Amino acid sequence: MSISVATWNINSVRLRMPMVETFLKDYGPDVLCLQEIKCQNEQFPTKAFEKAGYIHHAVNGQKSYHGVAIVSKHPLVEIDRREFCEMGDARHVSAVVESKIGATRIHNFYIPAGGDEPDPVKNPKFKHKLDFLAELQDWFDTPEFDNGHIIVGDFNIAPHENDVWSHKQLLKVVSHTPIETTTLDAIQARRNWVDIVRKHIPHEEKIFSWWSYRSRDWSASDRGRRLDHIWSTPDVAQHAIKTEVLRDARGWTEKPSDHVPIISHFG
């Protein structure tokens, strides 16, 4: 069995469930990882996902804010949830899925956005983001990440100059500041994580997965950023077949998420 894994910051799963149902019907990924579900575990729309054929769930919810979930057509085992920075936030959930490529642990992350001021002294939210990344790097340095992992989610960092609409204009804007991009690059390099999106779509091509609600015509202005990512350990990356960034999803409804889904196929 080959496997397809999608990631999508849905910005309230209950509000946008009709949009999710259409996506699942039209694209049918084996596994869907959602961020910012903005509901507690017992409020998660379990029945709607089951009706759509996604009967296996791993949810780490939180009232009104954050929250992540994995839904799958195939069994999810060894479900785990990790807390970062002792903040009580629901920003991670993982589970193991069996497929043609073997037993693979899929991690779903929602890394803190970091607020507006890129100064950890002046801005506690930015300090939280940097602390989260430091803790993440330490965890990734452990032997359990030698092989068999896929990590996805809203990393809230656009690391490459072609991951933003204007490298020069965004160098002092949170999500593309040098301290963030350098830190994320270091995390990737230390464990040899493979950026699956960029494996299939070269760095010479601009790619965005997020467009602000502030723009009246997001497509015409096209001031986007690639905040959403799919990485894997090298052993899993060799099975990556293709990746799709569903840009048009930003305009599927009158009230869409400001992020779009990304799907990677392994087999």
Mean pLDDT of the chain: 97
Residues in the chain: 267
Q: Tell me what pLDDT residue 216 has.
A: 84
Q: Tell me what pLDDT residue 1 has.
A: 65
Burial of 76 (0-12, 13-18, 19+ CB in 10 A): buried
Residue 215: which pLDDT band, with cuts at 50, 70 and 90? confident
Q: Which of 133, 142, 229 is nearest to 191 (CA)?
A: 142
Q: Tell me what pLDDT residue 31 has.
A: 98
The parent domain of residue 76 ranges over: 3-266
Give the position of tokens 């930015």.
126
Q: Tell me what pLDDT residue 90 has.
A: 98
CA atoms of 13 and 193, how far apart (whole Å): 29
Angle, nearest 10°, between helix axes 124-140 and 178-191? 10
CA atoms of 61 and 76, how far apart (whole Å): 17
Mean pLDDT, range 3-20, rounded to an integer:
98
The CATH number for 92's domain is: 3.60.10.10
Residue 197: which pLDDT band, with cuts at 50, 70 and 90? very high
Mean pLDDT, range 232-246, rounded to an integer:
98
> Is 77 in contact with 96 (CB distance < 8 Å)?
yes
- What sign has the CA pseudo-torsion 57, 58, 63, 66? negative
Mean pLDDT, range 74-85, rounded to an integer:
98
Residue 245: which pLDDT band, with cuts at 50, 70 and 90? very high
Q: What is the 3-state secondary structure (H, E, C) of the chain?
A: CCEEEEEEECCCCCCCHHHHHHHHHHHCCCEEEEECCCCCHHHCCHHHHHHCCCCEEEEECCCCCCCEEEEECCCCEEEECCCCCCCCCCCEEEEEEEECCEEEEEEEEECCCCCCCCCCCCCHHHHHHHHHHHHHHHHHCCHHHCCCEEEEEECCCCCCHHHECCCCCCCCCCCCCHHHHHHHHHHHHHHCCEEHHHHHCCCCCCCCCEECCCCCCHHHHCCEECCEEEEECHHHHCCEEEEEECHHHHHCCCCCCCECCEEEEEC
CA atoms of 141 and 145, how far apart (whole Å): 7
Burial of 179 (0-12, 13-18, 19+ CB in 10 A): middle
Based on the structure, what is the number of domains in the chain? 1
